Amino acid sequence: MSSFDDDLVLNGDILKMIGDVTGVEIEEENEMDHKTLHNLLANHRGVCDDDEEEDSEFKDVVVGEEEFKIKLICNEEIPSTLFAQYIWPASKVLSSHLLELDLPSSVLELGAGCGLPSMVMCRRGVGRVLVTDFPHPILLDEIEQNLARNCPYKDNVQITGLLWGEEMGEKVDMVIASEVLWLHDQHENLLKTISSSLNPLGTCLIAFSHHIPTLEEKDLHFFHLAREGGEFESVGEVLREEVVHPFSSHKTTTIFLFSMTKK
């Protein structure tokens, strides 16, 4: 298994993202260890706070008529810079969209975090639901508990560590992901995993928002790479939705949903 330190470096874009989330100005050359970062994010509204009652770690989320009780992933052993500790609005937009679609027979979620879209697919009765995230055992254990809590009939569900760039070793009809495009140096790896996991004519749905002003084109470059690679067709936006900003109830943010089909 790859270690976090080897695979996720605190590069400039990640530090800018942390600055955007917390409102704290972070200079790129700042030396910040993962523990300091965890505390910085933990003190920020929306992330679990050790001083609050245990129950506050649980969030009630409603998608359509489905209700979910999700435990935020707050274990300090899990690197905060994975940003798995929030239920990002993009995952809710993606989840709502999944309620409307014809059921695929199998689905793979990448960078699942709390795994809300996978939970929706389980509830809808998809035959095979593969829930994956960074191969960190505690993170995967937290995801497993959330799935078990919300999807009691879970024989059809598998939770696995999968580093972007690796092959899943099993093909599916649909790949889903939310908020995975902000790590620009991972775009090629993501495409590799998506392409090698999809059956011909399978669909990939990706929901995201632009987190760092001026880096919008870098986010969208992922779809340019997908078109250029020639393995996908109909790469494009299917919807966009204005939602309340995750860190300020006075602001909104735009969530984009893109789809691409494997040739």
Ligand X SMILES: C[S@@+](CC[C@H](N)C(=O)[O-])C[C@H]1O[C@@H](n2cnc3c(N)ncnc32)[C@H](O)[C@@H]1O
Q: Which of 70, 114, 151, 206 binds ligand X (CB under 6 A)?
A: 114
Report residue 4 as tokens. Answer: 């976090």
Residues 185 to 214: which contact ligand X by CB under 6 A?
A: 186
**Residue 54 CB partners (closer than 8 Å, separation 6+):** none
User: d(Cα 17, Cα 14) in Å, to the nearest integer?
Assistant: 5
Q: What are the backbone angles phi and psi of residue 80, rounded to the nearest 5°?
A: -65, -25
- Tell me: does residue 163 bind ligand X (CB under 6 A): yes
- CB nearer ligand X, residue 84 or residue 107: 84
Under rule CB under 6 A, residue 37 binds ligand X: no
Nearest approach, Cβ of residue 78 and ligand X (Å): 8
Q: Is 119 in the site for ligand X (CB under 6 A)?
A: no
> End-to-end distance of the chain based on CA atoms, in angstroms?
31
- Residue from the set 112, 122, 194, 226 that interacts with ligand X by CB under 6 A: 112
Nearest distance, CB of residue 95 and ligand X, angstroms: 10
Decide whether 51 or 60 has the Cβ nearer to ligand X.
60
Residue 253 C-alpha from the chain's centroid: 17
As beta bridge partners, residue 255 has 241
Sheet holding 128-133, edge to edge: 157-161, 128-133, 106-110, 172-178, 198-208, 248-262, 232-245
Which residues bind to ligand X, rule: CB under 6 A?
Answer: 7-8, 82-84, 86-88, 90-91, 111-114, 133-134, 163-164, 178-180, 183, 186
